[in-house]
Amino acid sequence: MPSASIRYLGFIIRFIVLGLAIAFVIRWIAPSLTGASPDSPSANPPAATANNSASMVSAEGPFSYNNAVTRASPAVVSIYANKITTVRQYRIVPDPITRRLFGAIAAGPAYRKQEHSLGSGVVFSADGYVLTNNHVIDGADDIQLLLSDGRVAQARIIGADADTDLAVLKIDAADLPTIAVADQGEVSVGDVVLAIGNPFGVGKTVTMGIVSATGRQLRLSAYEDFIQTDAAINFGNSGGALVNARGELVGINTAVYRNGGGDGRSGGSQQDAEGIGFAIPVATAKAVLDQIIKHGMVIRGWLGTEYADLDAITPRNPDVQKGVIVLGVLPGGPADQAGIGRGDILLRVNGEDIESQAALRSMEAGLAPGSTARIDGVRSGSSFSVQLQVMQRPSRIATSG
């Protein structure tokens, strides 16, 4: 009798387990048969997960930057510049004494050769003002622009500024698509950026990356505040647009880092480092553009001195935390007339602290020629203050930076 009861109880337990298993399977395969609401979280967990994922994607950024490209790309043009140069071949004399005395010997008559330069540009006005890099069109006799609609236009140079490596071109056209400029023009490390240009002449190309750093100094030109990016920039991209995720211009692509020498601005044999490109900030580019259109050149103030950061010349003086040290003074220039001399430490211009030699170069460039500037500094441990008459910066001078 007890064994029969145990068998009967086992049968009941197996029946209950089987029923629960069948109910579980039916609930997942056909929830409507169980009376569960499809809208309830427990009835449809995948939908809840999808909604959370969509919300996260919306907060982090879009899947596509097509809208940004569509907005900016029509204002980017391809530039083909040609120039005629005189070339002469030379033969190296094997004898070292003769070579020192006479150098290389001409191997034949000089001949004329046509050179080609490839780059990109950005349309800033509907009537045909285009901004590009100076090194793209420097010395060119013939400049052709390929527009986004397939037209080819002859361009002329309005003005160039070697100190920032920028140049302004003009084509005879109307109703051209123009670039949208970022309101503040400021970018932060980590911002998504797109580089638009014509690398190696393959056609208009868009590459994506982020802002890797800001305020980079490469000593390629006098005024530098480069945006560094890992968006691919190649030969032919120079002068093209660097835009943000909204398609607004934040920089003009200008150079890549070369780990084998060179300045990264031309298609030479040097070895390019990957993911290290540089662009001129749009604020600098726009200021140069406006001045060239207005004056045909960039007008900058000048103090008539060469200077460097304190750390570059001498160990940091604990009593002087900021400023630059004067390396040389142009005879008869503003600083010389004001009594500033070699070794003086300059601390402030018109009451504004000098953070570095790059900052001072920008500060003096912003001074109006003919205006008076107050310079505060330290000389042989004693403070001094002088007034000087600002001059216009010569078009090309040697700089310490």
Q: Which residues are catalytic?
A: 135, 165, 238
Q: Are 166 and 298 in contact (CB under 8 A)?
A: no
State the Cα–Cα distance between residues 256 and 238, nearest whole angstrom. Answer: 9
Contact predicate 244/193, CB 8 Å = yes
**Side-chain-side CA neighbours of residue 68 (13 Å):** 25
H helical segments located in 39-190: 45-60, 66-72, 96-102, 134-137
Task: Copy the structure tokens of residue 91.
Answer: 């033969």
Contact 297, 161 (CB under 8 A): yes
Q: Are strands 180-181 and 248-258 parallel, antiparallel or unpaired?
A: parallel
C-alpha to C-alpha distance for 262 and 276, rounded to whole angstroms: 14
Per the CB < 8 A criterion, the answer to whether 143 and 80 are in contact is yes
**Residue 58: how many CB atoms within 10 A of its CB?**
9
Collapsing DSSP states into helix, strand and coil, what is residue 383?
Answer: strand
Residue 390 backbone phi and psi in degrees, to 5:
-70, 135
